Chain A
């Protein structure tokens, strides 16, 4: 008997009801009133996206001049999963106790870690979750690590002030949190920090880490950082990365 669950990794498609059906769901508005023409326009938008067998599940009046759609369609463009390569963080995640022991043994001094929400960003929920004693999701924050000297500088710290402080305090790692992303302000601020670090000649002396709900590892790399952590990251994941990177540098 043929194994129905076998997936051809060289040709994967979205999976809805049966293998390879390519079903996707979309929701969007069009800036025109609800009408048969609006429905047709929605179908054509989806066709131009490369979808087939398009079904408009609902068309609703979101407002006089706006129609809202939920649409299903099928894509016929398979992806070769075996060829996919992504930048990702591959350091193993250790516990707080293990990390403290490792730092004590290999460095014999406290690692100095600075964190901040930079620019105009006032949303400290992310940086607080990583730094505060209490931590996040049952995982203690960096301030709780015995062999870390972790300082959370809070919100709206200017890039130059952060770098100046990092030099003064001989920081091993800098964590930058960006929450506001309108007009890509987060990317702009992150890049500016790295350009300044480069000019000050400290780019390679410190580990630079970015974090935030819309931050990914590849985005952070693109901005010149060493690593990026997204939503749901636990403090021990960040701590493990820092220690492993410093060990690599030491070696």
Chain B
């Protein structure tokens, strides 16, 4: 009987994946949404450290003025941020294997050149699972109501 139990346990052990970073699509979605929220925190704290890890070195973004930004440009923007409030809403993730598309809206309030500003913008982001880690490879932001 003990031998049978051992065989059954070993059989189950063999079916378990050796490396399972995410057990389901919803885990991947939750991870990506959490990393999207890191963006807002980075702009509020003017600390690009966390963002540095989740942006791929080839990352490109098109901002709401239609300007192309590299990873380095975004990190500088974070360090010099004048954002006082950063809220996200209606975020959704669409998974396509190792690629994820995130859409959502953010509301940003802050002060620029002494003048307060408030912008509501829609964004789309592309994430890629690289060596078991999700990294952001591209994004675009556009103003709502243009």
Do A and B make up one complex?
A: no
A contacts, CB < 8 Å to B: none
